[in-house]
Amino acid sequence: MTSDQVAEQRELEAARIRVDELRTQIRYHDHRYYTLSQPEIGDTQYDLLLRELRDLEARFPDLVTPDSPTQRVSGEATVEFTGVQHREPMLSLGNVFNADELAAWYARAVRRIEREDLRFVCEPKIDGLAISLVYEGGRFVQGATRGDGFRGEDITANLRTLRAIPLVLNAPPESLPRAFEVRGEVYMSKTEFERLNEERRLAGEQLYMNPRNTAAGSLRQLDPKITAARRLDLFIYQLGWVEGHRPVDAHSDAMSWLGGLGLPTNPLTQTFGSIEEVAGFCEGWVEQRDALEYGIDGVVIKIDDYNAQRELGVVGREPRWAIAWKFPAEQAVTRLRQIEVSVGRTGVLTPFAALEPVFVGGANVSLATLHNLDHIHELDIRAGDDVIVQRAGDVIPQVVAPVLSRREGREADLVPFEMPSTCPVCGGEVRRNENEAAYYCMNRRCPAQLSRGVEHFASRGAMDIEGFGEKMAFQLVDTLRPDSALHYIETLADIYSLPALRDELLTIPRIGEKKLDALFANIEGSKQQPLSRLLVAITIRHVGSETARALAGHFGTMSALREAALEDLQAVNDIGPIVAESVYDFVRDSENAALLDRLAIAGVRMDEGRVAARGGVLDGLSIVVTGSFAIRPRSELEELIKSLGGKVSGAVSKKTSFVVSGEGGGSKRDKAETLGVEIIDEQELFDRLRGFGWTDAPA
């Protein structure tokens, strides 16, 4: 290899490690945000992660996989709901923030279609969840989430519980198109949100963060009774596809028509003939938004005439005929009481702000993110400062800057922030690693690290032990056993000893019998997780879910992995010297070795499963799956390929081994043809697998 090639390979490896890390982090934060409604990081931090991932994928297209968080718009597909393909994609909107940007958007549209007689419909931009409703013969037959814009989830049963959705339209079926779709935004009113939280406060349960996340969580309940109890609301904002003749020529007419059929449309909608009037309308809302019964984060402006809309078309995922005027994030000034420091699973210290409570962006805020140490130093944020706090829509509040003028007379009391020299939780030594910005607590027995580690071990992408959340993890790491100097959990392996301590555990406050037995059942079940999950669970540096799959696919068993020489590890597809060394060192560390032994003795499965253990018949192949399929859904095909050692890639390149194309394979198919990459169909894939001796293929 030339030195250039070596450098290139190292660069690719570093990118692969980072991509894997970023995806693992993003999925974790998605889960906290969308499913648990308990985000841990702010909007900006999340966007930075996503942007970094996007940039890396743009530079290294081979690293793009279909399940990368960049490949969907938002939300996690819950396995239990069935997927729904949207007949027409559900689009996003571009943003403007002021009258000049709005005027520029308008000018572009005018230039494009050479028309100036445009009318604009302005609607509040509801801060909720986009949904699609299908009516057939005047009856509501299917409701779906937006999902990634192309494919959502079937939540018909849940949507039926919304009073705002008419199950039968207010018109004789023969007067209606046979079938059509409408789109709108489901939201939770502020009053309902307060009521729900009051109920939770009384029950001693953790409070919800904000109406939007709560509405999201409520819609994705598997039990429609729960959705019903949450009293969600809805505004329709668009007529989607129509079978047969479209009954109207303009958006405003569509809205009146739908309103007449009994669908809820927003009464605050207004139509204007000039873009200046539109700007005035938008500016007027900034002051009034708080008076509304629901959260809005801007105004949506749509060109009314359907012909104009059609001519303008779509660029990327955004229509050129509509734009969102976004409100500035709400800000307030409050006193920064303390800069506190939290400790993560790998020991990283993260500073955050403890504030004098202040009402901003529709919620009381007492904690806020400070991003990172550089942010604190650059802006010179100090404990005791009055600071500007910002909260945009549904995200974690952020400290924007200190108000320096308010320091006057107190300068001597306000000292610049320094990272603590010992861990704020365990008192252990704190060190800054060379070449790294982060500070770490070096004590491996630090309870904060351990409880985060336990939480991660039990999390969905790892051993998936439901009922083992943050609170339970902390409690068991923090509580001493009776007559013992030991805590219930001192290492990850102790999780599997918990069932033997049932009676003792029942003496701990707030741990009930039912909850505990359910937890034990889940702990027991987790023993069957394949090796790849276990490798994610035990927190090996640089090993995220993709690397874990590659390792498990290659070695098949934990003992093979533990015995592997450094060169063996490097020989694994997609694994380079940095990851190889990290894994090599991990399994040779005596404490880790003891942990792995104990897990094995506890009965945790230490292999990847029958097929992959044979090495994986698709080992080393990079495969792209595109379109929709008849025998198995695409997601299953992709899982299957991965389980057989293949790599599923989201982009076709010269390195692609072959493309499995279904109905509507579109641009990827074209690209494969151009590059001369082989294209096969689903049946051919199964035939080939059978040819390899794989026996589970459907006939």
Please give the full DSSP string across 292-351, using - where no structure is assigned.
Answer: SSS-EEEEEEEE-BHHHHHHH-EETTEETTEEEEEPPPEEEEEEEEEEEEEE-TT-BEEE
User: Residue 408: which residues within 8 A CB-CB, separation 6 or more?
Assistant: none
The 8 Å CB, 24+ separation contacts for 133-136 are 133/159, 133/165, 133/181, 133/182, 133/183, 133/184, 133/236, 134/179, 134/180, 134/181, 135/169, 135/176, 135/179, 135/180, 135/181, 135/182, 136/178, 136/179
If the CB atoms of residues 124 and 616 are measured against ligand IVH, the closer one turns out to be 124
In angstroms, give the least distance from the CB of 29 to ligand IVH.
20
Residues 6+ apart with CB under 8 A from 556: 531, 607, 608, 612, 613, 614, 615
Q: Which of 44, 48, 51 is nearest to 370 (CA)?
A: 44
- The sheet with strand 270-272 has its strands ordered as 95-96, 322-326, 296-303, 120-126, 270-272
- Provide the minimum distance between the beta carbon of 131 and ligand IVH in the complex, in angstroms, as a whole number: 8
Between residues 30 and 608, which has the closer beta carbon with respect to ligand IVH? 30
Closest by CA position to 322, among listed 343, 292, 355, 298:
298
Rounded to whole angstroms, the Cα distance separating 396 from 144 reads 28
User: Closer CB to ligand IVH, residue 317 or residue 337?
Assistant: 317
Tell the smallest beta-carbon distance from residue 238 to ligand IVH (Å). Answer: 6
CA-to-CA distance for 238 and 86, rounded, in angstroms? 14
- DSSP category for residue 232: -
Report phi then psi at 313, rounded to 5.
70, -160
Note if 642 is an active site residue: no
Contact of 239 with 250, CB cutoff 8 Å: no
Which CB, 221 or 238, lies closer to ligand IVH? 238
> Which of 593-605 are b and which e, b meaning 16 or more Cβ less than 10 Å from the residue's Cβ?
eebbebbeeeebb
Residues that bind ligand IVH (CB under 6 A): 91-93, 123, 125-126, 130, 185, 237-238, 300, 319, 322, 324
Q: What CA–CA distance (Å, rounded) separates 71 from 464? A: 24
Q: For residue 183, what are the contacts with CB-CB under 8 A and spacing of at least 6?
A: 90, 130, 131, 132, 133, 236, 237, 238, 239, 240
The whole-angstrom separation of Cα 649 and Cα 660 is: 11
- What single-letter amino acid sits at 273? G
Whats the size of the chain, residue-wise?
Answer: 699
Give the nearest residue (CB) to ligand IVH.
130
How far is Cα 57 from Cα 651, in angstroms, rounded to an integer? 10
The CB-of-458 to ligand IVH minimum distance in angstroms stands at 33
Query: Which positions are catalytic?
Result: 125
